[in-house]
Amino acid sequence: MFAAIARVFRTPDLRRKLLFTLAIIAIYRMGVYIPAPGVDYSNVQQCLAAGNTTGGLYQFVNLFSGGALLQVSIFAMGIMPYITASIIVQLLRVVIPRFEELHKEGQSGQAVLTQYTRYLTIALGLLQATTLVSLARSGMLFPSCQLPIVPDDSLWIIVLMIFTLTAGTGLIMWMGELATERGVGNGMSLLIFVSIASGFPSAMGAIATSQGWGVFIGVILIGVAVIGLVVFVEQSQRRIPVQYAKRMIGRRTVGGTSTYIPIKVNMAGVIPVIFASSMLALPTMLVSFNTRADGTLPDWALWVQTNFSGSSPLYMVAYTLLTIGFTYFYVAITFNPTEVADNMKQYGGFIPGIRAGRPTAEYLEYVLSRITFPGAIYLAFVALIPLIAFVLINADQNFPFGGTSILIMVGVGLETVKQINAQMQQRHYEGLLR
C-alpha cells in the first residue's frame, strides 16, 4: 500500500493534483473555525459544551458542514445549499421541458444547468443564512444556553452576518468546482467526505467515554461490517446484455459488438436517505418554533416530540417507508427505460430475446423495479443503524457508522480511488491497487 502511495507522488502531474486537492481541503477546514462577524466565539464554545442544540434538521445540516453550523462560522452553511440546489435542478427536469432539453444537449446544456444551480445555491444560502442568524440572535440555536451568541444585534451586524454566511457558501461552491477541475475526484463530494470524517474522532471518543471500551470495540466491529456491506452493494450491478447488429457504411462494416447496460442495485445513491431525514426533521424543527414563553409546548407539539424522536417505533417505520418511497421516486426520474430503448433502437442495438422498441422498454422497467426493491431495503437498513444504536447503547443519533455518513464516505472513497487508479494506469500501466 505504501509503495502504491509512493508511486502516486512520484508522478508529477498526479502529485500536483493531489497537493492542490489537499490545499483546498485545508482551507475549507480552516474556515470552519473562523467565527462569523458579530458572533461571540467564547459563548458559542460554552453553549456547545453544554449541548442541547435545536437538533432535528440543523443537527443534520451540521453533520454536512463539519460542525461549522453550530460554530456559527463563515462556512456555517457548508455544502448543503449546493446539494439542495443540485437536487432541485435535477428534479425540475421532470417538470420543466426546457431543463430536459438542456440535459440532452450535452456539454453546452449541462453548462447552462450548472449556472442555474449556482444561482439557486446562492439564493438558498441567503435564505438559510437568514434563518440561522435569526436562530442565533433569538437564542433558539442553543435553547438551554442563556449566553448571548450575537451580543450586538443591530441591523448592520445582522446584515453583515447574513452576507458573510452567503459569501461563505459561494466560496465553498467555487472551491469545490476548482478541486474538480484541477484536483483529483469530485470536489464537492470530497468536501462532504471531509466534513463527515471530521466528526468521527469526537463521536468515537464520546462512545468510549460514556459507554466504555467494550462498546467502543463493538462499534468498531459493526462499522467494519457496515462498510463491507456498503462496498459490496455499491459495487453490485445487473448487467443486461446488448448486441449491436452489423451495418455497412460505405465500404466499412460497423457494429456487431456486444456490450451491456449496467443497472446498479443502489441507483439512487444517498439521495433518498437525505430526503427522508429532511422530511422527518421538519416536525421537530416546527416544535422548537412553537415553544411557549414559560417553556411548555402545545398538545400537538408534545405528541410530535414524543412520536417523532429517533427512538420511537413510529419514527423508524416512517423513516423506512419514506426511504423506500423516495428510492423508487428518484430512480424513476433519473432512469428512463423508454429513452434508453429508443437510443438502442436508433443505433441498431437490441437485448437478445427481446424485440426492439416498446418490448425493450417494458423489459427494462421490469428489471429496474425488481432490482430497486432490494436497493431500497438496503438503504433503509443502513439508515436505521444509527437509530437502532441510539436505542441499544444510547449513542448519539449521528452514529458514525450508519446512515448518510457511511454511504457518502464509502461512495466518495471508491470513486476517488477509481479516478486515481485510472490515471495511474494511463502512465504506468499499473493501478493504485493491485
Mean pLDDT value of segment 88-101 = 83
Which regions of the chain carry the CATH code 1.10.3370.10?
1-196+406-434, 199-401
Confidence of residue 31 (pLDDT cuts 50, 70, 90): confident
Is the per-residue pLDDT at 117 higher than 60? Answer: yes
Specify the higher pLDDT residue, 347 or 322: 322
Specify the higher pLDDT residue, 270 or 127: 127
Phi, psi at 397, each rounded to 5°:
-65, -25
Choose the weakest-confidence range: 52-66, 84-98, 151-165: 52-66
Is the per-residue pLDDT at 263 higher than 80? Answer: yes
Mean pLDDT value of segment 267-280 = 81
Range from 254-258, 294-298, 318-322 that averages highest in pLDDT:
318-322
pLDDT given at position 24:
92
Specify the higher pLDDT residue, 306 or 55: 306
Q: What is the mean pLDDT of the chain?
A: 80
CA-to-CA distance for 186 and 409, rounded, in angstroms?
Answer: 13
Confidence of residue 164 (pLDDT cuts 50, 70, 90): very high
Confidence of residue 394 (pLDDT cuts 50, 70, 90): low
CA-to-CA distance for 395 and 196, rounded, in angstroms?
Answer: 17
Confidence of residue 338 (pLDDT cuts 50, 70, 90): confident
Half-sphere exposure (Cβ direction) of 290: Cα atoms closer than 13 Å: 15
Specify the higher pLDDT residue, 23 or 149: 23
Mean pLDDT value of segment 300-321 = 77
Choose the weakest-confidence range: 26-35, 125-134, 257-266, 269-278: 269-278
Phi, psi at 269, each rounded to 5°:
65, -140
Residue given cell 465553498 in the structure block: 172
Is the per-residue pLDDT at 166 higher than 90? Answer: yes
Is the per-residue pLDDT at 288 higher than 70? Answer: no
pLDDT given at position 1:
57
Is the per-residue pLDDT at 290 higher than 80? Answer: no
CATH of domain 1-196+406-434: 1.10.3370.10
pLDDT given at position 126:
92
Percent of the chain with pLDDT over 70: 84
Rounded to the nearest angstrom, the gap between the alpha carbon of residue 367 and the centroid of all alpha carbons in its chain is 26
Top CATH class, 199-401: mainly alpha
Choose the weakest-confidence range: 26-30, 206-210, 337-341, 392-396: 392-396
Please work out, in degrees rounded to the nearest 5, the angle formed at the alpha carbon of residue 359 by the alpha carbons of 356 and 360: 60
CA-to-CA distance for 408 and 99, rounded, in angstroms?
Answer: 27
Question: Helix H segments across 237-357?
Answer: 271-289, 299-307, 313-334, 337-346
Is the per-residue pLDDT at 219 higher than 70? Answer: yes
Mean pLDDT value of segment 213-242 = 85
Specify the higher pLDDT residue, 387 or 226: 226
Is the per-residue pLDDT at 57 higher than 70? Answer: no
Is the per-residue pLDDT at 397 higher than 60? Answer: no
pTM: 0.80
Residue given cell 437525505 in the structure block: 274
Cell of 432: 493504485
Q: Which amino acid is at 262?
A: P
Range from 353-367, 388-402, 410-424 that averages highest in pLDDT:
353-367
Residue given cell 423506500 in the structure block: 324
Is the per-residue pLDDT at 351 higher than 90? Answer: no
